[in-house]
């Protein structure tokens, strides 16, 4: 029996939901559930496990358990809904997939910081920025706030927007799964990385497995995102050369590439000195400072992300439709 790929409908519906609605306030988002489970696991791990080896293997259990469990829960929910009615299954799959896309959330977060900045309210802009970044924001100047916003947009464009879409398209070609199966599993990996994937104590050993796994899961979508941005900019060779020169200096195998691609396309420079809990950390400089970072540049970055998303969405829906027809 030939395998027929999943319908492209959940992809299209989820993209529309994220574009128009995003994450409604108070909606039971899967990431909140993941975060609660990680916090509970951390509490017991740090309370009862003391050796580095036991913490590492606990991290392996946490990583594999949450990632595989998230995919399994997605499949079970869609399957159960489909047994009630196929349309309910489609709606469930679409909503779960929409929860994995962060396009509108990223735009909202950027605007949340830019709005008080436009009126010169640095205190409020710093407070808003602190909700979205890990660096110290209390003393940041306006240019430093703008750089932080653009770096956040550039980094999260890959793991919050493009990578979930990549795995949604891939999931459509896996036999007997729903479209949200891989994206929700990837979202679990991303959430683990953000919560325990630190090199510093106390997560050095507990989060090592999750951090490395997320790096590997994001590697291909990140490079494809860079390639898409490079082609979209009509100067692909320049963008790739900038990434080859600067992105490799970043300790992260993905965020440096994603941020550097945006810096090269926009003609700005990212990186520099950031402060974390009062400790200075020097980030590599990415790109050339041809233009200053402005609110307009941030809006351009958001537009680039939106265009890249639509390009991938169109290609994905087209590939699924062609494959379905051929079968």
List the chain pLDDT tens, one digit each, 327 residues: 344 466 788 999 999 999 998 876 666 789 999 999 999 999 999 999 989 999 999 999 999 999 999 999 999 999 999 999 999 999 999 999 999 999 999 999 999 999 999 999 999 999 999 999 989 999 999 999 999 999 999 999 999 999 999 999 999 999 889 999 999 999 999 999 999 988 778 899 999 999 999 999 999 999 999 999 999 999 999 999 999 999 999 999 999 999 999 999 999 999 999 998 888 999 999 999 999 999 999 999 999 999 999 999 999 999 988 887 665
Please give the pLDDT value at position 5.
60
Please give the pLDDT value at position 4.
46
Please give the pLDDT value at position 26.
60
Phi first, then psi, for residue 85 (nearest 5°) are: -165, 135
Please give the pLDDT value at position 199.
74
Alpha-carbon distances of 304 from 81, 93, 154, rounded to whole Å: 36, 27, 10
Please give the pLDDT value at position 28.
73
DSSP collapsed to 3 states, 258-291: HHHHHHHHHCCCEEEEEEECCEEEEEEEECCCCC
Please give the pLDDT value at position 1.
35
Long-range contacts for 172-175 (Cβ within 8 Å, ≥24 apart)? Answer: 172/5, 172/6, 172/8, 172/11, 172/316, 172/320, 173/5, 173/6, 173/320, 173/323, 175/3
Helices (H), the chain: 9-20, 30-48, 52-84, 86-98, 103-118, 122-129, 142-156, 163-172, 181-196, 208-232, 236-246, 255-266, 295-326
Bridge partner residues of 276 (DSSP): 279
d(CA 234, CA 55): 48
Which tokens hold the place of 25? 């306030």
d(CA 124, CA 138): 10
pTM reported for the whole predicted model: 0.94
DSSP 117-158: HHTT-HHHHHHHHTTT-SS--TT--HHHHHHHHHHHHHHHII
């Amino acid at each position: 029996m030939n395998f027929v790929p999943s319908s492209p409908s959940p992809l299209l519906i989820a993209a529309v939901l994220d574009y128009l609605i995003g994450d409604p306030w108070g909606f039971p988002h899967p990431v909140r559930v993941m975060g609660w489970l990680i916090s509970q696991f951390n509490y017991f791990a740090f309370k009862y496990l003391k050796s580095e080896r036991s913490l590492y293997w606990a991290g392996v259990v946490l990583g594999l358990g949450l990632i595989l469990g998230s995919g399994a829960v997605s499949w079970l929910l869609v399957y159960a809904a489909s047994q009630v009615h196929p349309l309910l299954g489609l709606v469930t799959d679409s909503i779960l997939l929409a929860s994995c896309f962060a396009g509108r959330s990223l735009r909202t977060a950027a605007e949340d910081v830019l709005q008080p900045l436009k009126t010169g309210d640095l205190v409020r802009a710093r407070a808003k920025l602190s909700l979205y970044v890990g660096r110290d924001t209390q003393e940041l100047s306006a240019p430093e706030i703008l750089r932080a916003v653009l770096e956040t947009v550039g980094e999260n464009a890959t793991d919050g927007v493009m990578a979930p879409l990549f795995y949604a398209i891939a999931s459509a070609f896996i036999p007997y799964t729903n479209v949200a199966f891989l994206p929700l599993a990837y979202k679990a990996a991303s959430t683990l990385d953000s919560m325990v994937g630190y090199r510093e104590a106390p997560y050095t050993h507990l989060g090592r497995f999750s951090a490395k796994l997320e790096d590997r899961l994001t590697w291909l979508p990140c490079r494809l995102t860079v390639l898409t941005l490079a082609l979209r900019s009509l100067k692909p060779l320049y963008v790739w050369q900038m990434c080859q020169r600067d992105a490799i200096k970043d300790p992260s195998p993905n965020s440096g590439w994603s941020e550097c691609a945006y810096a090269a396309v926009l003609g700005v420079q990212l990186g520099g000195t950031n402060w974390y809990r009062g400790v200075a950390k020097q980030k590599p400089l990415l790109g050339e400072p041809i233009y200053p970072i402005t609110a307009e540049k941030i809006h351009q970055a958001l537009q680039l992300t939106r265009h890249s998303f639509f390009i991938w969405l169109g290609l994905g829906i087209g590939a699924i439709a062609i494959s379905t027809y051929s079968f």
